[in-house]
Structure 1
């Protein structure tokens, strides 16, 4: 069974991306299992001084979670045309572990926004960061959930738009196949 870690990019409890991330678990094909990774808001800000004193407990637990999965799905908003600070911080912490728990893992990105572009600008900067960690990025099809307020139920963590649900379900099927192709290589 393929274990896909779902990493939320938002720290906000009532965020649209958090709702999409939670809904993803119910959209996975039956040969894949969702693993909710710790929210980046639970991690201290990366500081080499902290690391020099020893890996913080919350970070060590997060690293262990990431090591236990076969692939990662990142579901995130776009902040100022780029990566939310908490998400970048989580990647920075992961990059300090040797061997890097992100290296050679397949990854896909979903961006979520109430706006018309659906957070499209976060993809480029996030892909660049993920490639620097030797991740295997599924670049296409890109997933941008635009107008997300009308497509998601934040309280229930559910997709309410049937077309969006069908698209995301299809994307997760393609991502699972992508992951299995890399696992077989």
Structure 2
């Protein structure tokens, strides 16, 4: 990725003290100078409805148009998400559905790094596995290694949202280096 490249972050949780929101901010802070990072909110996006997404009509809601336009500025993505019911949280899957449609999909062919934190013992492994078919359909370039599966997150973040586990920090740095390298291919 060239200097002034851009990575867009998406968080799969809207919780006030979300470990994944904290994780996404940590990841953004670890990016090298010259890489722009923007976390995109999507709490105003309606439930996906294909009736508003027909190419001939192009009647997507304004919030969806704005969201897609922001995603289109990205060279790559970082998604930090919890695991809900062994899978992708519904809100996150919903915006991926909105962004995935059409030949102008802002997700197509772009690198993506998936990371996750949970208070449980499995560290979002099932959510990350559930994303693989989505990435395949979109011809995205998922950065699979190293896996960032943070279990027992309540023991790895301080009260200010700082990640305090050095081993996890080093793994995230490697993941980000691999994401940036994927942009050069």
TM-score by length of 2: 0.89
Moved runs in structure 1, 4+ residues, more than 6 A? none
Deviation at 1:50, TM superposition (A): 4.2
Number of aligned positions between the proteins: 179
Task: Write the distance in 2 (CA, Å) between the matches of 1:55 and 1:96.
Answer: 11
Structure 2, gaps ≥5 residues long: none
- 2:46 maps to 44
| Aligned pairs for 1:2-151 within 5 A | 2-38=5-41, 40-51=42-53, 54-151=59-156
Q: Hey, which of these two has a bigger chunk of helix by percent?
A: 1
Q: Is the 8 A contact 2:145 2:175 kept in 1?
A: no
RMSD, aligned CA: 1.7
Q: Is the 8 A contact 1:73 1:109 kept in 2?
A: yes
Task: Write the distance in 2 (CA, Å) between the matches of 1:113 and 1:26.
Answer: 20
Deviation at 1:12, TM superposition (A): 1.6
- 2:179 maps to 175
Q: Is the 8 A contact 2:86 2:126 kept in 1?
A: yes
Deviation at 1:83, TM superposition (A): 0.5
Q: Is the 8 A contact 1:46 1:93 kept in 2?
A: yes
* Secondary structure class of the residue paired with 2:146: coil
Q: Deviations over 1:102-131 (max 9, x none)?
A: 111001100211111111111111121121
Query: 1:164–1:78: structure 2 CA closer, same or farther, 3 Å change rule?
Result: same
* Secondary structure class of the residue paired with 2:104: coil
Task: Write the distance in 1 (CA, Å) between the matches of 2:48 and 2:14.
Answer: 16
* Secondary structure class of the residue paired with 1:10: coil
Deviation at 1:69, TM superposition (A): 0.6
Task: Write the distance in 2 (CA, Å) between the matches of 1:178 and 1:106.
Answer: 6
